[in-house]
Amino acid sequence: MKITNICCIGAGYVGGPTMAVIAAKCPHIKVTVVDLNEKRIADWNNPDINKIPIYEPGLNEIVEKSRGKNLFFSTEVDKAIDEAQLIFISVNTPTKTYGTGKGMAADLKHIELCARQIAKVSKTDKIIVEKSTLPVRTAEAIKSILDNTGNGVQFQILSNPEFLAEGTAVQDLLNPDRVLIGGETTPKGDEAIASLVEVYANWVPEERILKTNVWSSELSKLTANAFLAQRVSSINAISELCEKTEANVNEVAKAIGMDSRIGSKFLKASVGFGGSCFQKDILNLVYISKAFGLNEVADYWEQVIIMNDHQKRRFSKNIVQTLYNTVSGKKIAFLGWAFKKDTNDTRESAAIYVADDLINEQAKIALYDPKVERPQVLSDLNYLETRCSSQNEDSIQNFKNPYEACENSHAIAILTEWDEFKEYDWQKIYNIMLKPAFIFDGRNLLDAKKMNEIGFVYQSIGS
């Protein structure tokens, strides 16, 4: 099937950027991104291209290139489904907060609703592409819904997991390590795979397009994120040992990273990994393993999450202990709230949990993040349901200027590795803080020697 019309259900961190790149690279294909969230769609259509809802370096230029030409953002879901030959499902699949699998399994209610809507609307044969992060054998459930509640049309289900790193998503899409496409090993399945391959082949070399069965594709995404998260938790575990000895975790990481069998990526000690994928995907693996009675496998992967949670709590505990075992009424400046630099995504950010701990200790948080606004910060804290929302509002204040956030503060906690933090006039910041002035560098971002020379009491992970 020659693809000329694509629909993507879900205008979030995956659907928006992915479809923008497809539209830019395939001007002969009409790409429509649909979502029931009217505000989100309005934001994607904002005439001010710098105010689209997702911040990724280079994304606004990509969107501007195609928006209104062959890239459209709409709330007319049924119309887009009806017209499309190929439909990407890119809706949220959060970890369940209720029922069987609570706290581990993926909540697939949005996926099921999408499948039922596609089945209800479709009048012609369609290719359905899983783009959301999904547990193994979800495609089977989607196919069952489509085949049994549809209008007699034929559906082919493909798995095409995303491997995007937020902050570099546009480059990851333009120059991917690999594009993974899984489908049924049948003549019709092969045809569907070939149709999607043809779309990506407009800019991705075919040798980087890997074709598998559906189950291998679904499991590959979970496994890739689990392996990467495991490396972060491993180096963070070593960072605690470094703090008890005279070892330096950065030197240890550099030494082992030069081993070609290991490599240097994801070996930066920090306050912990965040984001929408790592924790969710590992918990998915844990749940699947337990469902098959593989308790030792489940325990192994669950330890990665336990280590990550421990690292965040250990960081906040260190702040309290260093500040003479009390932060009550003290102003703690937070630099960064996003879970990593070059994104406005805050999901599972370490900053949320460190702030929660410190607010429980009655600290006052002064926050600066270049891309995260106050409503999102309060939403993140309120989601934890640790205290009433008014207490959160009283305990955290947002600043548009980092120097104002740091003024008269007892300590600074660096929670996101924004590059601009390295360029600050740290002598000026030291002069406007209360003395002694502490920096707790949760991202190993600053030069320890320089900070000590300025006069800060400087502590980083693994120092």
Catalytic residue positions, numbered? 162, 221, 277
Give me the sign of the Cα torsion angle 264, 269, 274, 277. Answer: positive
Answer yes or no: are the C-beta atoms of 104 and 287 closer than 8 Å. yes
| Alpha helix segments (H runs only) across 122-213 | 138-149, 169-174, 187-200
Burial class for 391, CB neighbours closer than 10 Å (0-12, 13-18, 19+): middle
The dihedrals phi and psi of 267, each to the nearest 5 degrees, come to -120, 30
CA–CA gap between residue 96 and residue 103 (Å, rounded): 6
Residue 445, C-beta contacts closer than 8 angstroms, at least 6 positions apart:
414, 417, 421, 422
Are 163 and 221 in contact by the 8 Å Cβ rule? The answer is yes
The burial of 327, by beta-carbon neighbours within 10 Å (0-12 exposed, 13-18 middle, 19 or more buried), is given as buried
Question: Based on the number of CB atoms within 10 Å of its own CB, is 348 exposed (0-12), middle (13-18) or buried (19 or more)?
Answer: buried
Q: Which residues pair with 93 in a beta bridge?
A: none
Q: Is 165 exposed, middle or buried (0-12, 13-18, 19+ CB in 10 A)?
A: middle
Residue 331 pairs in a beta bridge with 364
